[in-house]
Chains A and B, each alone.
Chain A
């Protein structure tokens, strides 16, 4: 079974530029999550999708962050314009078995904003 795929693995941009991260969850997983992990901290939930609908985006800074999940499969997280404090690892996770509750994570996309 293929795992959660994320790209790019690393990205360096200047502040005020834009960036997009892509996630392909495990096949058949209905729930997809984007987390932000700042160095030395735990992952912070940004947005949760159930199929292609948003379940929770209460912690997503909507003035600069946007996310979509087309056709309930792949997802894209965009930041525009980026700020220095957006430097973090952006983790995508998926879950297809609500009774077990296990999340499967990708390797993450590390963003550095200069």
Chain B
């Protein structure tokens, strides 16, 4: 399967703490993206990091990419209850096809 894997599968933290989730993938990529999905809703794009980049920031989000290890991490700082959702990494291959990971379910406790 071309689908990536994420860990942990589930993460529960207190509001104000940082949340870190990891993604591993298998093939060469153009870029890696992170998406968020609230229960019963579609996915929403959060951040994109290109294959030649190592780190990127957007607001409270920080994403890293290690192409030698085929892995990425997403850090959400100062988490809020509204951050409760599932988070997916997606890799875009050279054919502009997107493959999603298995997801991390994040619960932020107020």
Contacts and interface: CB of A to CB of B under 8 A. Distances in A.
B97 A42 contact: no
Contacts of A107: 41-42
Nearest to A31: B96
A44 interface: yes
A41 B103 contact: yes
A44 B4 CA distance: 11
Interface string B1-37: 0010010000000000000000000000011010100
A52 B95 CA distance: 17
B54 interface: no
B45 interface: yes
Contact of A108 (B42, B99, B102): B42
Interface of B: 3, 6, 30-31, 33, 35, 40-45, 48, 88, 90, 92, 95-103
Contact of A42 (B41, B42, B100): B100
Interface in A1-40: 4, 31, 33, 35
A104 B45 contact: yes
Contacts of B97: 45, 48, 55-56
Rank and list the top 6 A-B pairs by shortest CB-CB distance, nearest first.
A105-B42, A42-B100, A105-B43, A43-B100, A102-B45, A107-B42
Interface residues on chain A, size class: 20 to 34
Contacts of B41: 107-108
Contacts of B95: 55-56
A33 B98 contact: yes
Nearest to A100: B48
A103 interface: yes
B48 A101 contact: yes
Contacts of A56: 95, 97
Nearest to B2: A45
A79 interface: no
Contacts of B44: 105
B64 to A, nearest CB: 18
B90 A103 contact: yes
A42 B102 contact: yes
